[in-house]
Chain A
């Protein structure tokens, strides 16, 4: 069974984002990069399958900058068998990213039985790559998956939609599954795992190696800017029980007369 896990490296959620001086992207010099949190669920799911099916082979693929390869190494330290890095800028658009992933999967010569991804990357928040990649490979896909069962080639997937409602899908592999938080608990990369990962193969490609050209660009960003700062609000002290009623009355009143939201 060939499992491909597509991951992204993103700035840590604690990162304070600052636009770069030309406004074309954010300042990336002092950023701490982490594996996209949703992708950790995808990696874990592949390893749970591998634990049940030892013959399964897990290849983890990432498109992005080559300066740090931590996300790929972490995935291998967690237990993935090999890794592929497609060198590109960290803010390549979704269409080019999906096309690059497709090219890399095809280059391995292995027919994918299952492709796992996170439901979205927390940097550009586009939520496009999983569906685009599935479409390009002619595979069905299910996104925002919080439940996963595999029996033979039969998959039962639970997709979360509005209001916590669950859609249950039944389908057969090959397919693409985009994972959400709640699907599993990602394991830590163990220290022996980190040592072993050193010896696992990491193949590097350029975008042109996997059939992606400048003409494939579909999205252009400009004028990165910080959201406007709100003017300071009103802060009222209600630690004292005597003041509570008065403060609550005042706030409710302001919500109606000043903010006009009630």
Chain B
């Protein structure tokens, strides 16, 4: 049984889903959670329910805004104090930026973006996609402990049978020292929806969308089913959508439960970025488009006719 710390990010009152997925998967180990700042009661309960023994809330001046340096210094203190064997986090914007620096401060190894893992005794064995999911490999971490792991959101899934932990909440005062790079201002993105990398449902448009305005019909569909809208590289390169919406090898790698590809032919670099989606629906006029080889449900048809019908039909179904 390994001694493990899970860095948990908060989303309002709640713990981010990926941290709970990790907790559920780690059931049976000795697992603590750590948050930055005050941790809301709801979040503590969620962590406890999924198996957290302790929930530490780190507090210091200089932690009000995110900084890799500040967060790393704070986490380093608690990691060294409690001698963890492993430290986990979700592969989110913060996790991706923070964890390499944190691992570096301790000269320790880190496995990025694993999609599954198991423990052989106390030894971590991970699986992760490489080349944007064109292939997978097993990954082991070598060298001094603790070992660091980031896990891709939505990859593990929640553990419905997770055994609850005590969830003892403790505030811990830390000293993060001098910080050079710190967030001064945040400009909210247009979308209030979940990021593509965390979204459960994605509706994506390709070059066949013809222009930026036509993305309106995808937004309408997305609103009905609670999806985030994405785009292919061709659509982004043609100026129909910003790069933050790009799915694929030079965009975001996603694994939602449902991916609806509209007018996307399925270039190899796009398929690489979305092939791990659990269910794929493709709409394309070309019956030979490569996207259909990956689709669970393929509709050979014109997206401008099919998408509004889908929106109406989903509305119909979900209102029942």
Do A and B have CB atoms closer than 8 angstroms in the complex? yes
Smallest Cβ-Cβ distance to A164: which chain B residue: B189
Q: CB-CB < 8 A to A124: which residues of B?
A: 130
Cα–Cα, bound, A21→B314 (Å):
47
Cα–Cα, bound, A217→B107 (Å):
11
**A36-64, CB < 8 A from B:** 37-38
Q: CB-CB < 8 A to A172: which residues of B?
A: 180
Which of B96, B135, B276 contacts A26 (CB under 8 A)? Answer: B135
Q: Mark A173-215, 1 if CB is under 8 A from B, else 0.
A: 0010000111000000000000000000000000000000001
Which of A17, A164, A221, A230 contacts B191 (CB under 8 A)? Answer: A164
Which of A128, A181, A225 contacts B137 (CB under 8 A)? Answer: A225
Q: CB-CB < 8 A to B300: which residues of A?
A: 235-239
A171-B181, A182-B242, A236-B300 known; A227+B136 contact, CB < 8 A: yes
Which of B101, B133, B182, B184 contacts A131 (CB under 8 A)? Answer: B101
Cα–Cα, bound, A16→B267 (Å):
11
Chain B interface (Cβ within 8 Å of chain A)? 66, 68-69, 72, 92-94, 96-98, 100-101, 103-105, 107-113, 129-143, 179-195, 197-198, 201, 225, 242-246, 249-251, 253, 257-258, 267-269, 275-276, 278-281, 285, 287, 292-302, 305-306, 309-310, 313-314, 317-318
Smallest Cβ-Cβ distance to B257: which chain A residue: A261
Q: CB-CB < 8 A to B136: which residues of A?
A: 224-227
Cα–Cα, bound, A234→B267 (Å):
20
Chain A residue total in the interface (Cβ 8 A): 92
Q: CB-CB < 8 A to B186: which residues of A?
A: 165-168
Which of B94, B245, B297, B306 contacts A255 (CB under 8 A)? Answer: B297
Cα–Cα, bound, A181→B93 (Å):
16
Q: CB-CB < 8 A to B98: which residues of A?
A: 131
Decide if B298 touches A233 in the complex (CB within 8 Å). yes
| A244 contacts partner chain B, Cβ-Cβ < 8 Å | yes
For the complex formed, measure the closest distance between the CB of A175 and the CB atoms of chain B, giving whole angstroms: 6
Decide if B109 touches A219 in the complex (CB within 8 Å). yes
B-contacting 9-mer, from A76-84, A108-116, A141-149: A141-149
| A245 contacts partner chain B, Cβ-Cβ < 8 Å | yes
Decide if B301 touches A247 in the complex (CB within 8 Å). yes
Decide if A222 touches B137 in the complex (CB within 8 Å). yes
A14-B269, A140-B180, A167-B183 known; A226+B97 contact, CB < 8 A: no
For the complex formed, measure the closest distance between the CB of A218 and the CB atoms of chain B, giving whole angstroms: 3
Q: CB-CB < 8 A to B179: which residues of A?
A: 140
Given contacts A146-B243, A239-B302, 4 further A-B contacts (CB under 8 A): A128-B110, A165-B189, A181-B243, A181-B250
Q: CB-CB < 8 A to A141: which residues of B?
A: 68, 101, 181
Decide if B66 touches A167 in the complex (CB within 8 Å). yes
Give 29 CB contacts A-B under 8 Å.
A17-B135, A95-B104, A128-B103, A131-B98, A141-B181, A158-B187, A161-B195, A163-B195, A164-B242, A165-B188, A167-B185, A171-B182, A181-B243, A181-B251, A219-B110, A220-B139, A221-B137, A224-B130, A233-B292, A233-B297, A237-B301, A238-B300, A244-B305, A248-B309, A254-B297, A255-B279, A259-B278, A259-B279, A261-B278
